[in-house]
Structure 1
Amino acid sequence: MPSDHWTLGFDTSAAHCAAALLRAGELVAECHEDMARGQAERLMPLLEEMLAGAGIGWRDLSALGVGIGPGNFTGVRISVAAARGLALALRIPAIGVSTLEARAFGLPRPVLTVDDARRGEAYVQRFTDVGESAPDLCALTEIAVTQADALTGTAADALHELRGTGTVRASAMPLAVAIARIAALRAQDGTPLPRPAPLYLRGADALPPSDPPPQLLDA
Protein backbone atom coordinates (compact mmCIF):
# COMPACT_ATOMS: atom_id res chain seq x y z
CA MET A 1 0.00 0.00 0.00
CA PRO A 2 1.46 3.44 -0.92
CA SER A 3 2.85 5.38 2.05
CA ASP A 4 0.57 8.33 1.28
CA HIS A 5 -2.61 6.22 1.25
CA TRP A 6 -4.86 7.69 3.97
CA THR A 7 -8.09 5.97 5.01
CA LEU A 8 -10.67 7.54 7.32
CA GLY A 9 -13.23 5.26 8.96
CA PHE A 10 -16.17 6.33 11.11
CA ASP A 11 -19.35 5.02 12.70
CA THR A 12 -22.47 6.38 14.44
CA SER A 13 -24.57 3.20 14.41
CA ALA A 14 -25.10 3.18 18.19
CA ALA A 15 -24.84 5.61 21.12
CA HIS A 16 -21.41 6.83 20.07
CA CYS A 17 -19.42 8.82 17.55
CA ALA A 18 -16.28 6.92 16.54
CA ALA A 19 -13.52 7.44 14.00
CA ALA A 20 -10.10 6.10 13.03
CA LEU A 21 -7.41 7.30 10.64
CA LEU A 22 -4.92 5.01 8.90
CA ARG A 23 -1.85 5.78 6.85
CA ALA A 24 -0.72 2.93 4.61
CA GLY A 25 -2.71 0.57 6.82
CA GLU A 26 -1.11 1.77 10.06
CA LEU A 27 -3.21 3.39 12.77
CA VAL A 28 -2.51 7.11 13.17
CA ALA A 29 -5.44 8.21 15.33
CA GLU A 30 -8.57 6.76 16.91
CA CYS A 31 -11.42 8.30 18.88
CA HIS A 32 -14.60 6.96 20.46
CA GLU A 33 -17.04 9.33 22.17
CA ASP A 34 -20.10 7.92 23.91
CA MET A 35 -23.24 9.96 23.32
CA ALA A 36 -26.93 9.15 23.38
CA ARG A 37 -27.68 11.93 20.91
CA GLY A 38 -25.93 14.68 18.99
CA GLN A 39 -23.99 12.51 16.54
CA ALA A 40 -25.17 14.61 13.59
CA GLU A 41 -23.67 17.74 15.14
CA ARG A 42 -20.49 16.07 16.40
CA LEU A 43 -19.42 13.83 13.51
CA MET A 44 -17.92 16.35 11.08
CA PRO A 45 -16.07 18.38 13.76
CA LEU A 46 -14.67 15.12 15.15
CA LEU A 47 -13.39 14.09 11.72
CA GLU A 48 -11.89 17.53 11.08
CA GLU A 49 -10.12 17.44 14.45
CA MET A 50 -8.68 14.02 13.62
CA LEU A 51 -7.35 15.16 10.25
CA ALA A 52 -5.90 18.35 11.73
CA GLY A 53 -4.18 16.36 14.46
CA ALA A 54 -2.48 14.26 11.78
CA GLY A 55 -1.47 17.35 9.82
CA ILE A 56 -3.52 16.52 6.74
CA GLY A 57 -6.65 17.83 5.03
CA TRP A 58 -9.67 16.30 3.35
CA ARG A 59 -7.96 16.24 -0.05
CA ASP A 60 -5.20 14.00 1.31
CA LEU A 61 -7.63 11.14 1.89
CA SER A 62 -7.61 8.16 -0.48
CA ALA A 63 -10.65 6.27 0.83
CA LEU A 64 -13.44 6.36 3.38
CA GLY A 65 -14.87 3.53 5.44
CA VAL A 66 -18.27 3.88 7.07
CA GLY A 67 -20.27 1.68 9.42
CA ILE A 68 -23.57 0.79 7.75
CA GLY A 69 -25.19 -0.98 10.69
CA PRO A 70 -27.24 -2.79 11.66
CA GLY A 71 -27.93 -0.49 14.56
CA ASN A 72 -29.71 2.71 15.43
CA PHE A 73 -31.84 3.76 12.47
CA THR A 74 -31.02 7.48 12.66
CA GLY A 75 -27.38 6.96 13.60
CA VAL A 76 -26.72 4.73 10.61
CA ARG A 77 -28.30 7.29 8.28
CA ILE A 78 -26.08 10.06 9.69
CA SER A 79 -22.78 8.35 8.95
CA VAL A 80 -23.82 6.87 5.60
CA ALA A 81 -25.08 10.25 4.36
CA ALA A 82 -21.84 11.90 5.48
CA ALA A 83 -19.73 9.27 3.71
CA ARG A 84 -21.68 9.61 0.48
CA GLY A 85 -21.39 13.38 0.51
CA LEU A 86 -17.67 13.34 1.25
CA ALA A 87 -16.98 10.71 -1.40
CA LEU A 88 -18.78 12.77 -4.01
CA ALA A 89 -17.00 15.99 -3.05
CA LEU A 90 -13.54 14.43 -2.75
CA ARG A 91 -13.93 11.95 -5.63
CA ILE A 92 -12.70 9.04 -3.55
CA PRO A 93 -14.37 5.71 -2.76
CA ALA A 94 -16.63 5.34 0.27
CA ILE A 95 -16.79 1.73 1.41
CA GLY A 96 -19.61 0.46 3.59
CA VAL A 97 -18.71 -2.03 6.33
CA SER A 98 -21.26 -3.76 8.52
CA THR A 99 -20.72 -3.52 12.26
CA LEU A 100 -21.10 -7.30 12.46
CA GLU A 101 -18.18 -7.84 10.09
CA ALA A 102 -16.11 -5.18 11.83
CA ARG A 103 -16.53 -6.81 15.25
CA ALA A 104 -15.41 -10.17 13.82
CA PHE A 105 -12.41 -8.71 11.98
CA GLY A 106 -9.10 -10.10 13.21
CA LEU A 107 -10.61 -12.90 15.31
CA PRO A 108 -9.92 -16.59 14.58
CA ARG A 109 -12.75 -18.36 12.79
CA PRO A 110 -15.43 -19.53 13.33
CA VAL A 111 -16.85 -16.32 14.77
CA LEU A 112 -20.46 -15.62 15.65
CA THR A 113 -21.11 -11.89 15.99
CA VAL A 114 -24.18 -11.08 18.09
CA ASP A 115 -25.17 -7.48 18.75
CA ASP A 116 -27.99 -6.53 21.08
CA ALA A 117 -31.11 -5.49 19.14
CA ARG A 118 -33.28 -5.11 22.28
CA ARG A 119 -36.64 -6.86 22.80
CA GLY A 120 -34.80 -10.13 23.46
CA GLU A 121 -33.41 -10.11 19.92
CA ALA A 122 -29.96 -9.81 18.38
CA TYR A 123 -28.36 -8.98 15.07
CA VAL A 124 -26.33 -12.04 14.19
CA GLN A 125 -23.88 -13.20 11.52
CA ARG A 126 -21.54 -16.19 11.34
CA PHE A 127 -18.04 -15.97 9.82
CA THR A 128 -16.02 -19.08 8.91
CA ASP A 129 -12.88 -19.84 6.93
CA VAL A 130 -14.98 -20.58 3.85
CA GLY A 131 -17.46 -17.72 3.96
CA GLU A 132 -20.14 -16.00 5.96
CA SER A 133 -23.86 -16.23 6.54
CA ALA A 134 -26.28 -13.45 5.70
CA PRO A 135 -26.81 -10.98 8.56
CA ASP A 136 -30.04 -11.69 10.40
CA LEU A 137 -32.28 -10.46 13.20
CA CYS A 138 -33.63 -13.14 15.49
CA ALA A 139 -34.48 -13.97 19.08
CA LEU A 140 -31.53 -14.91 21.28
CA THR A 141 -33.29 -18.17 22.08
CA GLU A 142 -33.21 -19.12 18.37
CA ILE A 143 -29.46 -18.69 17.84
CA ALA A 144 -27.51 -21.94 17.55
CA VAL A 145 -24.02 -22.02 19.07
CA THR A 146 -21.30 -24.66 18.72
CA GLN A 147 -18.45 -25.33 21.12
CA ALA A 148 -15.96 -24.10 18.50
CA ASP A 149 -17.66 -20.72 18.07
CA ALA A 150 -15.98 -17.53 19.20
CA LEU A 151 -18.77 -15.23 20.37
CA THR A 152 -18.28 -11.50 20.01
CA GLY A 153 -20.48 -8.42 20.05
CA THR A 154 -22.64 -6.59 22.55
CA ALA A 155 -24.89 -9.62 23.15
CA ALA A 156 -22.12 -12.24 23.30
CA ASP A 157 -22.20 -12.58 27.09
CA ALA A 158 -25.98 -12.94 27.15
CA LEU A 159 -25.91 -15.62 24.45
CA HIS A 160 -23.12 -17.52 26.18
CA GLU A 161 -25.03 -17.47 29.46
CA LEU A 162 -28.12 -18.74 27.65
CA ARG A 163 -26.41 -21.51 25.67
CA GLY A 164 -23.52 -22.41 27.96
CA THR A 165 -21.15 -23.10 25.09
CA GLY A 166 -18.81 -21.26 22.77
CA THR A 167 -16.12 -18.83 23.94
CA VAL A 168 -16.73 -15.12 24.46
CA ARG A 169 -14.03 -13.00 22.85
CA ALA A 170 -13.55 -9.25 22.82
CA SER A 171 -13.17 -7.68 19.39
CA ALA A 172 -9.58 -7.56 18.18
CA MET A 173 -9.68 -3.77 17.83
CA PRO A 174 -12.03 -0.79 18.30
CA LEU A 175 -14.99 -0.70 15.93
CA ALA A 176 -13.89 2.34 13.90
CA VAL A 177 -10.38 0.93 13.50
CA ALA A 178 -11.77 -2.32 12.10
CA ILE A 179 -14.03 -0.37 9.71
CA ALA A 180 -11.05 1.65 8.48
CA ARG A 181 -8.85 -1.44 8.05
CA ILE A 182 -11.50 -3.34 6.09
CA ALA A 183 -12.12 -0.29 3.90
CA ALA A 184 -8.39 0.16 3.25
CA LEU A 185 -8.07 -3.47 2.15
CA ARG A 186 -11.04 -3.23 -0.20
CA ALA A 187 -9.89 0.08 -1.66
CA GLN A 188 -6.46 -1.42 -2.32
CA ASP A 189 -8.07 -4.36 -4.12
CA GLY A 190 -9.40 -1.95 -6.75
CA THR A 191 -12.66 -3.81 -7.34
CA PRO A 192 -15.53 -1.37 -8.06
CA LEU A 193 -17.83 -1.22 -5.06
CA PRO A 194 -21.38 0.12 -4.70
CA ARG A 195 -22.11 3.24 -2.71
CA PRO A 196 -22.54 2.52 1.00
CA ALA A 197 -26.15 1.90 1.98
CA PRO A 198 -27.69 1.39 5.42
CA LEU A 199 -28.08 -2.21 6.52
CA TYR A 200 -31.51 -2.22 8.11
CA LEU A 201 -32.68 -5.55 9.54
CA ARG A 202 -35.56 -3.91 11.39
CA GLY A 203 -37.80 -1.01 10.43
CA ALA A 204 -37.64 2.34 12.18
CA ASP A 205 -39.06 2.42 15.70
CA ALA A 206 -41.19 5.43 14.85
CA LEU A 207 -44.79 4.39 14.28
CA PRO A 208 -47.47 6.18 12.30
CA PRO A 209 -49.99 8.10 14.43
CA SER A 210 -52.78 5.92 15.80
CA ASP A 211 -55.35 8.72 15.79
CA PRO A 212 -57.68 8.76 12.77
CA PRO A 213 -57.02 11.52 10.23
CA PRO A 214 -59.19 14.64 10.51
CA GLN A 215 -62.35 14.67 8.44
CA LEU A 216 -62.82 17.43 5.93
CA LEU A 217 -66.17 19.13 6.27
CA ASP A 218 -68.02 20.51 3.29
CA ALA A 219 -68.01 24.30 3.20
Structure 2
Amino acid sequence: MPPNAPLVLGFDTSAAHCAAALLSGDLVLAQQYAPMQKGQAENLVPILESTLAQAGHNWSDLDAIGVGTGPGNFTGIRISVACARGMALALGIPAVGVTALEAQAFGVTRPVYSLIPARRNMYYIQKVGDHGAPVEQLSLEDAQARVAGAKSVGPVGQSDFPEAQTPIAEAIARIASERFASQDPTQRPAPFYMRAADAAPAKDAPPTILDAAP
Protein backbone atom coordinates (compact mmCIF):
# COMPACT_ATOMS: atom_id res chain seq x y z
CA MET A 1 0.00 0.00 0.00
CA PRO A 2 1.23 3.55 -0.63
CA PRO A 3 2.96 5.20 2.32
CA ASN A 4 0.70 7.52 4.30
CA ALA A 5 -2.37 6.33 2.39
CA PRO A 6 -5.51 7.50 4.24
CA LEU A 7 -7.35 4.81 6.18
CA VAL A 8 -11.11 5.13 5.67
CA LEU A 9 -13.88 3.03 7.21
CA GLY A 10 -17.14 2.94 5.26
CA PHE A 11 -20.38 1.40 6.47
CA ASP A 12 -24.10 1.24 5.75
CA THR A 13 -27.31 0.01 7.37
CA SER A 14 -29.82 1.81 5.13
CA ALA A 15 -31.33 -1.51 3.97
CA ALA A 16 -31.65 -5.03 5.39
CA HIS A 17 -27.94 -5.45 6.07
CA CYS A 18 -24.87 -4.35 8.00
CA ALA A 19 -22.04 -3.64 5.56
CA ALA A 20 -18.53 -2.40 6.30
CA ALA A 21 -15.30 -1.90 4.36
CA LEU A 22 -11.85 -0.65 5.35
CA LEU A 23 -9.91 1.14 2.64
CA SER A 24 -6.28 2.26 2.53
CA GLY A 25 -5.71 4.37 -0.55
CA ASP A 26 -7.11 2.22 -3.36
CA LEU A 27 -6.67 -1.04 -1.46
CA VAL A 28 -9.55 -2.76 0.34
CA LEU A 29 -8.02 -4.20 3.52
CA ALA A 30 -11.15 -5.90 4.84
CA GLN A 31 -14.89 -5.90 4.33
CA GLN A 32 -17.96 -7.62 5.72
CA TYR A 33 -21.59 -7.92 4.66
CA ALA A 34 -24.24 -9.39 6.94
CA PRO A 35 -27.87 -9.59 5.72
CA MET A 36 -30.36 -8.80 8.50
CA GLN A 37 -33.91 -7.51 8.70
CA LYS A 38 -33.35 -6.16 12.21
CA GLY A 39 -30.60 -6.04 14.80
CA GLN A 40 -28.38 -3.47 13.11
CA ALA A 41 -28.13 -1.42 16.31
CA GLU A 42 -26.67 -4.38 18.19
CA ASN A 43 -24.47 -5.69 15.38
CA LEU A 44 -23.03 -2.60 13.69
CA VAL A 45 -20.24 -1.73 16.13
CA PRO A 46 -19.07 -5.37 16.56
CA ILE A 47 -18.92 -5.71 12.76
CA LEU A 48 -16.92 -2.49 12.47
CA GLU A 49 -14.52 -3.61 15.19
CA SER A 50 -14.14 -7.00 13.50
CA THR A 51 -13.44 -5.33 10.15
CA LEU A 52 -10.70 -3.20 11.71
CA ALA A 53 -9.23 -6.19 13.55
CA GLN A 54 -9.06 -8.29 10.37
CA ALA A 55 -6.69 -5.70 8.92
CA GLY A 56 -4.70 -5.25 12.14
CA HIS A 57 -6.00 -1.74 12.80
CA ASN A 58 -7.91 0.01 15.55
CA TRP A 59 -10.12 3.09 15.81
CA SER A 60 -7.27 5.50 16.43
CA ASP A 61 -5.69 4.59 13.06
CA LEU A 62 -8.61 5.97 11.04
CA ASP A 63 -8.31 9.15 8.98
CA ALA A 64 -11.99 9.40 8.00
CA ILE A 65 -15.36 7.69 8.15
CA GLY A 66 -17.83 7.23 5.31
CA VAL A 67 -21.46 6.44 6.07
CA GLY A 68 -24.52 5.63 4.02
CA THR A 69 -27.22 8.26 4.57
CA GLY A 70 -30.07 6.68 2.61
CA PRO A 71 -32.67 6.92 1.28
CA GLY A 72 -33.88 3.65 2.74
CA ASN A 73 -34.94 2.24 6.08
CA PHE A 74 -35.56 5.05 8.59
CA THR A 75 -34.24 3.18 11.61
CA GLY A 76 -31.23 1.77 9.79
CA ILE A 77 -30.22 5.19 8.48
CA ARG A 78 -30.45 6.74 11.95
CA ILE A 79 -28.32 3.95 13.42
CA SER A 80 -25.44 4.42 10.98
CA VAL A 81 -25.52 8.20 10.89
CA ALA A 82 -25.62 8.49 14.68
CA CYS A 83 -22.74 6.02 14.95
CA ALA A 84 -20.66 7.92 12.38
CA ARG A 85 -21.28 11.28 14.01
CA GLY A 86 -20.37 9.96 17.44
CA MET A 87 -17.21 8.25 16.24
CA ALA A 88 -16.08 11.26 14.24
CA LEU A 89 -16.53 13.49 17.26
CA ALA A 90 -14.74 11.08 19.60
CA LEU A 91 -11.84 10.43 17.21
CA GLY A 92 -11.52 13.98 15.88
CA ILE A 93 -11.79 12.90 12.23
CA PRO A 94 -14.17 13.81 9.38
CA ALA A 95 -17.32 11.83 8.65
CA VAL A 96 -18.60 11.93 5.08
CA GLY A 97 -22.21 11.12 4.21
CA VAL A 98 -22.84 9.26 0.94
CA THR A 99 -26.29 8.48 -0.46
CA ALA A 100 -27.16 4.94 -1.45
CA LEU A 101 -27.99 6.15 -4.95
CA GLU A 102 -24.54 7.61 -5.44
CA ALA A 103 -22.81 4.61 -3.89
CA GLN A 104 -24.68 2.26 -6.21
CA ALA A 105 -23.48 4.27 -9.23
CA PHE A 106 -19.84 4.37 -8.11
CA GLY A 107 -17.43 3.36 -10.88
CA VAL A 108 -20.07 3.57 -13.59
CA THR A 109 -19.67 5.94 -16.54
CA ARG A 110 -21.88 8.93 -15.91
CA PRO A 111 -24.46 10.30 -16.26
CA VAL A 112 -26.48 7.24 -15.22
CA TYR A 113 -29.85 6.71 -13.58
CA SER A 114 -29.52 5.07 -10.17
CA LEU A 115 -32.59 3.40 -8.70
CA ILE A 116 -33.27 1.61 -5.43
CA PRO A 117 -36.56 0.15 -4.15
CA ALA A 118 -38.75 2.15 -1.80
CA ARG A 119 -41.89 1.02 -0.04
CA ARG A 120 -45.33 0.56 -1.59
CA ASN A 121 -44.02 -0.47 -5.01
CA MET A 122 -42.16 2.83 -5.41
CA TYR A 123 -38.56 3.55 -6.40
CA TYR A 124 -36.04 6.23 -5.51
CA ILE A 125 -34.38 7.53 -8.67
CA GLN A 126 -31.65 10.06 -9.45
CA LYS A 127 -29.64 10.86 -12.54
CA VAL A 128 -26.18 10.67 -10.98
CA GLY A 129 -23.59 12.81 -12.70
CA ASP A 130 -26.17 15.32 -13.90
CA HIS A 131 -25.26 18.20 -11.58
CA GLY A 132 -28.19 19.29 -9.49
CA ALA A 133 -30.48 16.44 -10.52
CA PRO A 134 -33.01 15.86 -7.72
CA VAL A 135 -33.84 12.56 -6.08
CA GLU A 136 -37.39 11.53 -6.95
CA GLN A 137 -39.77 8.85 -5.77
CA LEU A 138 -41.64 7.22 -8.65
CA SER A 139 -43.95 4.28 -9.20
CA LEU A 140 -42.53 1.20 -10.88
CA GLU A 141 -44.22 2.11 -14.15
CA ASP A 142 -42.99 5.70 -14.10
CA ALA A 143 -39.46 4.61 -13.17
CA GLN A 144 -39.38 2.11 -16.04
CA ALA A 145 -40.57 4.81 -18.43
CA ARG A 146 -37.96 7.27 -17.14
CA VAL A 147 -35.00 4.94 -17.74
CA ALA A 148 -36.23 3.40 -21.00
CA GLY A 149 -33.38 3.55 -23.49
CA ALA A 150 -31.03 5.15 -20.94
CA LYS A 151 -28.16 3.82 -18.90
CA SER A 152 -29.24 2.73 -15.41
CA VAL A 153 -28.12 0.80 -12.35
CA GLY A 154 -30.50 -0.91 -10.00
CA PRO A 155 -33.46 -3.28 -10.31
CA VAL A 156 -35.45 -1.19 -12.81
CA GLY A 157 -34.62 -1.09 -16.48
CA GLN A 158 -32.88 -4.47 -16.50
CA SER A 159 -29.58 -2.91 -17.58
CA ASP A 160 -26.72 -5.38 -17.51
CA PHE A 161 -23.93 -3.26 -16.17
CA PRO A 162 -20.77 -5.22 -15.30
CA GLU A 163 -19.20 -1.97 -14.11
CA ALA A 164 -21.67 -1.69 -11.25
CA GLN A 165 -20.25 -4.39 -9.00
CA THR A 166 -18.74 -2.37 -6.16
CA PRO A 167 -20.17 -3.47 -2.78
CA ILE A 168 -22.02 -0.63 -1.09
CA ALA A 169 -19.70 -0.19 1.91
CA GLU A 170 -16.63 -0.21 -0.35
CA ALA A 171 -18.24 2.37 -2.64
CA ILE A 172 -19.06 4.57 0.36
CA ALA A 173 -15.47 4.28 1.63
CA ARG A 174 -14.04 5.16 -1.80
CA ILE A 175 -16.28 8.20 -2.21
CA ALA A 176 -15.47 9.34 1.33
CA SER A 177 -11.77 8.88 0.64
CA GLU A 178 -12.06 11.22 -2.33
CA ARG A 179 -13.92 13.89 -0.38
CA PHE A 180 -12.84 13.99 3.24
CA ALA A 181 -9.71 16.12 2.76
CA SER A 182 -11.73 18.99 1.26
CA GLN A 183 -14.68 18.74 3.64
CA ASP A 184 -15.29 21.21 6.44
CA PRO A 185 -14.11 19.27 9.52
CA THR A 186 -17.09 20.51 11.53
CA GLN A 187 -19.59 19.20 8.98
CA ARG A 188 -21.39 16.03 10.05
CA PRO A 189 -23.50 13.64 7.94
CA ALA A 190 -27.28 13.83 8.14
CA PRO A 191 -29.95 11.26 7.23
CA PHE A 192 -31.34 11.58 3.71
CA TYR A 193 -35.10 11.14 4.02
CA MET A 194 -37.52 11.37 1.11
CA ARG A 195 -40.70 11.28 3.18
CA ALA A 196 -41.88 11.81 6.72
CA ALA A 197 -41.81 8.95 9.20
CA ASP A 198 -44.86 6.65 9.28
CA ALA A 199 -45.33 7.30 12.98
CA ALA A 200 -47.15 10.55 13.68
CA PRO A 201 -47.83 12.49 16.86
CA ALA A 202 -51.11 11.65 18.57
CA LYS A 203 -54.01 13.88 17.55
CA ASP A 204 -55.66 13.69 20.96
CA ALA A 205 -54.92 16.48 23.40
CA PRO A 206 -52.47 15.50 26.13
CA PRO A 207 -53.88 14.87 29.62
CA THR A 208 -54.08 17.81 31.98
CA ILE A 209 -51.48 17.70 34.73
CA LEU A 210 -52.89 18.90 38.01
CA ASP A 211 -50.83 20.49 40.75
CA ALA A 212 -50.53 18.39 43.85
CA ALA A 213 -52.76 19.47 46.67
CA PRO A 214 -50.97 21.54 49.31
| Structure-2-length-normalised TM-score | 0.87
The residue number in structure 1 matching 2:141 is 141
Render the CA deviation track for 1:8-37: whole Å, top value 9, x for unaligned. Answer: 000000110000000123111111100011
2:198 to 182, 200, 205: 205
- Stretch of structure 1 that moved more, 110-119 or 173-182: 110-119
SS of the residue aligned with 2:51? helix
SS of the residue aligned with 1:113? strand
| Contact 1:121–1:137 (CA under 8 A) maintained in structure 2 | yes
The 5 A counterparts of 1:48-87 are 48-87=49-88
Task: From the superposition, tell whether residues 207 and 56 of structure 1 become closer, same or farther in structure 2 (CA, over 3 Å).
Answer: same
Displacement of 1:168:
4.0
| 1:176 and 2:173 aligned | no
Aligned amino acid, residue 194 of structure 2? L
Aligned amino acid, residue 136 of structure 2? D
| Structure-1-length-normalised TM-score | 0.85
| Contact 2:20–2:33 (CA under 8 A) maintained in structure 1 | yes
1:196 to 143, 165, 189: 189
| Contact 2:148–2:157 (CA under 8 A) maintained in structure 1 | no
Distance 2:160 2:90 in 1: 42
Percent of aligned pairs with the same amino acid: 48
Displacement of 1:134:
1.6
| Contact 1:10–1:79 (CA under 8 A) maintained in structure 2 | yes
Render the CA deviation track for 1:9-68: whole Å, top value 9, x for unaligned. Answer: 000001100000001231111111000110000001111111111111101000000000
SS of the residue aligned with 1:197? coil
Aligned amino acid, residue 206 of structure 1? A
Distance 2:127 2:87 in 1: 31
Displacement of 1:150:
2.2
Distance 1:215 1:39 in 2: 35
Render the CA deviation track for 1:137-193: whole Å, top value 9, x for unaligned. Answer: 22233331242x22212xx2xx327xxxxx3436330000000000001024x2426
The two structures, once aligned, show a CA RMSD in angstroms of: 2.3
Structure 2, unmatched stretches of 5+, are none
The 5 A counterparts of 1:73-112 are 73-112=74-113
